[in-house]
């Protein structure tokens, strides 16, 4: 008699994935890892929704004439693209998915400090997201994602209040997530895990959380004031009643410029992990890289005025903001140079996450340096509200953050899913994204410099060649984004089982099973050394 199959089949060890299958076990879970997956699915949905609007914008811009979209529709589409991508993809992306999954594991804890609040944050996020997105169903919003007054308060006939309410609610989700990370990193570190032993991902998550917690309330109150002005005409932003529309821009950018760093700092953290692991070297200048994250978070609150250079701000204030904007380039550059030094002499391999990491360095550098153009008062006047600005921030947001997010997703995918993704597919899609991205956005620098304004659905005929290149690049980019959706989903169920530490990486999360058990570690780990401890170079040469 042969053994029945269930005897020879090894039982999967208990993990957070097989700990309950019903809908309650997911929708009422307080397990940070399951909440991370809820976020992953939600923000992936929002990413492709936002991507759809981007694709429609690019298709309209294929020809100089308005043909695919009417101007009103076009306005609604770029507003929707901006709102979804900023608040419902980029800001939550790395913090809520990788951060939720990794912060407790990296500090050696069983969960975040406030697990129920963590679940609440997902519900608030979903309510906010559905509200904001549903505004397109009832007629859309045409103000752009910045809601500048007096257009948003007096002149726009669209559903501004509806969308602002969605963003207001989602803001509390950000605040809760940020608070949860800060408190967890402060109070729940494993014995021996001192501040300067923390992985750099945690330093950047911590800095991001500071911004989330301190900037988001200002956005919330600004949106409330904007909504009241629109609903009741109370006058705060209305010059006819003694108010000042510029106050809105100051308050809005006091949040939104730091928010720009919410959208890149977590990417910088992922980058440090990837570079170190795939060059098998300790991060060069660990303390400088860590402190650079904190410095970026602090400086981020002091530069908002560079969005107002042409808005009628005092020229002396503008000078100060220009100078401060230059300053914030320093910590970013410190990071780039330290990664270079980490790579130098490393034993580098080119798995998918490392490809993303290397692309990140190039794209982030271009995005950062063109940011300096915009921080310079004279050049900014020339390129304000042109495609140069669009290209600049897409190099940071997409070339930086989305690339880092995908790199991080591939890197931690074996830990999250317990399965390996198909390496070849990963490398191909990484290259597609790199090529497609540059083809989409590099021509936009030239377009902007030549004077093509943003937010118009029609343009002068001379700009068509570059616009066609950009749209062609966007379609390559789209293929590059859809591919991982399929092969990662496939590997989640069918991929080969992942070992505990497939990359030979350091860090506590690689010391527990893949996928981890619900309580993360069988017993609380005790940390006795620095995070990054690869064999030093001389030993490797022997």
Is there binding between residue 179 and another protein (CB under 8 A)?
Answer: yes
Is the CB of 175 or the CB of 292 nearer to another protein? 175
Residue with tokens 């991507």: 51
Stretch touching another protein by CB under 8 A, among 113-121, 125-133, 406-414, 498-506 = 113-121
CB of 129 to another protein, least distance (A): 21
Is there binding between residue 243 and another protein (CB under 8 A)?
Answer: yes
Q: State both tokens at 468.
A: 């066609």
Among 62, 130, 247, 446, binds another protein (CB under 8 A): 247
Backbone angles phi, psi at 512, to 5 degrees: -115, 170
Gap between the Cα atoms of 229 and 374, Å rounded: 32
* Burial degree of 230 (CB within 10 A; 0-12, 13-18, 19+): buried
- Which of helix, strand or coil describes residue 105? helix
CB of 225 to another protein, least distance (A): 7
Is there binding between residue 188 and another protein (CB under 8 A)?
Answer: yes
Among 4, 10, 22, 242, binds another protein (CB under 8 A): 242
Is there binding between residue 349 and another protein (CB under 8 A)?
Answer: no
Distance of CA 361 to the CA centre of its chain: 16
Is there binding between residue 214 and another protein (CB under 8 A)?
Answer: yes
x-or-dash pattern for another protein, window 83-112, by CB under 8 A?
--------------------------xxxx
Among 216, 370, 417, 440, binds another protein (CB under 8 A): 216
Angle at 451 between CA 447 and CA 453, to 5 degrees: 85
Angle at 80 between CA 74 and CA 86, to 5 degrees: 135
CB of 178 to another protein, least distance (A): 8
Is there binding between residue 20 and another protein (CB under 8 A)?
Answer: no
Among 26, 114, 431, 492, binds another protein (CB under 8 A): 114
Is the CB of 112 or the CB of 433 nearer to another protein? 112
Is there binding between residue 234 and another protein (CB under 8 A)?
Answer: yes
Q: What is the DSSP letter of 497?
A: B
Segment holding 517, helix H or strand E: none
Gap between the Cα atoms of 318 and 312, Å rounded: 10
Residue with tokens 């304000």: 384
Q: What is the DSSP letter of 90?
A: I
Is there binding between residue 382 and another protein (CB under 8 A)?
Answer: no
CA-based radius of gyration for the chain: 23
CB of 207 to another protein, least distance (A): 15
Is there binding between residue 283 and another protein (CB under 8 A)?
Answer: no
CB of 30 to another protein, least distance (A): 9
- Scanning residues 252 to 271, which ones bind another protein (CB under 8 A)? 254
Is there binding between residue 535 and another protein (CB under 8 A)?
Answer: no
* Burial degree of 183 (CB within 10 A; 0-12, 13-18, 19+): middle
Is there binding between residue 186 and another protein (CB under 8 A)?
Answer: yes
Gap between the Cα atoms of 403 and 270, Å rounded: 10
* Helix, strand, coil percent content, the chain, rounded in steps of 5: 70, 0, 30
The neighbour count for residue 241, using CB atoms within 10 Å, is: 11
Number of residues binding to another protein, judged by CB under 8 A: 41
Is there binding between residue 161 and another protein (CB under 8 A)?
Answer: no
Is there binding between residue 235 and another protein (CB under 8 A)?
Answer: yes
CB of 148 to another protein, least distance (A): 16
x-or-dash pattern for another protein, window 115-144, by CB under 8 A?
x-----------------------------
Gap between the Cα atoms of 542 and 539, Å rounded: 5
Sign of the Cα pseudo-torsion (407, 413, 414, 416, in order):
positive
Q: Name the nearest CA neighbour of 12 among 523, 515, 518, 519.
A: 515
Is the CB of 66 or the CB of 115 nearer to another protein? 115
Among 120, 127, 130, 221, binds another protein (CB under 8 A): 221
* Burial degree of 381 (CB within 10 A; 0-12, 13-18, 19+): exposed
Stretch touching another protein by CB under 8 A, among 235-243, 347-355, 465-473, 481-489 = 235-243
Gap between the Cα atoms of 304 and 310, Å rounded: 13
Kindly list the residues in this chain that would bind another protein in the complex (CB under 8 A).
Answer: 109-115, 175, 179, 182-184, 186-188, 213-218, 220-222, 225, 228, 232-236, 240-244, 247, 250-251, 254, 524
């Amino acid at each position: 008699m042969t053994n029945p199959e269930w005897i020879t089949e090894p039982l999967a060890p208990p993990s957070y994935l097989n700990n309950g299958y019903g809908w309650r076990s997911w929708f009422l879970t307080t397990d940070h890892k399951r909440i991370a997956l809820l976020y992953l699915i939600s923000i992936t949905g929002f990413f492709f929704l936002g991507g759809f609007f981007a694709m429609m914008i690019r298709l309209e811009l294929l020809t100089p004439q308005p043909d695919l979209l009417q101007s009103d529709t076009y306005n609604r589409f770029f507003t929707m693209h901006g709102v979804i991508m900023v608040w419902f993809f980029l800001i939550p992306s790395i913090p809520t998915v990788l951060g939720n999954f990794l912060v407790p594991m990296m500090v050696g804890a069983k969960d975040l400090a406030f697990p129920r609040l963590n679940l609440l944050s997902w519900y608030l996020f979903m309510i906010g997201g559905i509200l904001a997105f549903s505004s397109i169903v009832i007629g859309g919003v045409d103000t752009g994602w910045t809601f500048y007054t007096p257009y948003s308060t007096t002149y726009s006939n669209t559903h501004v209040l509806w969308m602002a309410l969605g963003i207001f609610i989602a803001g509390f989700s950000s605040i809760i997530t940020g608070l949860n990370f800060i408190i967890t990193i402060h109070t729940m570190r494993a014995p021996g895990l001192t501040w300067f032993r923390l992985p750099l991902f945690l330093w950047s998550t911590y800095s991001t959380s500071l911004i989330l917690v301190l900037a988001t309330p200002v956005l919330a109150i600004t949106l409330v004031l904007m909504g009241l002005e629109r609903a009741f005409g109370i006058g705060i932003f209305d010059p006819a009643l003694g108010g000042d529309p510029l106050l809105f821009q100051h308050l809005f950018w006091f949040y939104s410029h730091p928010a720009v760093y919410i959208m890149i700092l977590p990417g910088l953290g992922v980058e440090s992990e990837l570079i170190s692991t795939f060059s098998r070297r300790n991060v060069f200048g660990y303390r400088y890289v860590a402190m650079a994250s904190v410095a970026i978070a602090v400086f981020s609150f002091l530069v908002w005025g560079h969005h107002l250079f042409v808005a009628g701000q005092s020229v002396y204030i503008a000078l100060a903001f220009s100078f401060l904007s230059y300053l914030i380039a320093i910590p970013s550059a410190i990071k780039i140079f330290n990664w270079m030094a980490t790579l130098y002499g490393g034993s580098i391999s080119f798995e998918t996450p490392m490809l993303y990491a290397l692309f990140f360095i190039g794209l982030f550098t271009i995005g950062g340096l063109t940011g300096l153009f915009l921080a310079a008062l004279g050049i900014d006047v020339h390129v304000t509200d042109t495609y140069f600005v669009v290209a600049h921030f897409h190099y940071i947001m997409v070339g930086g953050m989305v690339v880092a997010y995908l790199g991080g997703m591939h890197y931690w995918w074996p830990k999250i899913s317990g399965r390996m993704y198909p390496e070849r597919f990963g490398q191909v899609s990484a290259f597609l994204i790199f090529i497609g991205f540059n083809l989409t956005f590099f021509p936009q620098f030239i377009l902007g410099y030549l004077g093509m304004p943003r937010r118009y659905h029609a343009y002068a005929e001379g700009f068509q060649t570059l616009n066609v290149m950009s749209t062609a690049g966007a379609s390559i980019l789209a293929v590059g984004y859809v591919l991982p959706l399929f092969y990662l989903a496939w590997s989640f169920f069918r991929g080969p089982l992942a070992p505990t530490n497939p990359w030979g990486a350091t860090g506590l999360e690689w010391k527990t099973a893949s996928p981890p058990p619900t309580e993360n570690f069988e017993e609380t780990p005790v940390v006795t050394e620095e995070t990054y401890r690869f064999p030093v170079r001389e030993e490797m040469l022997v």
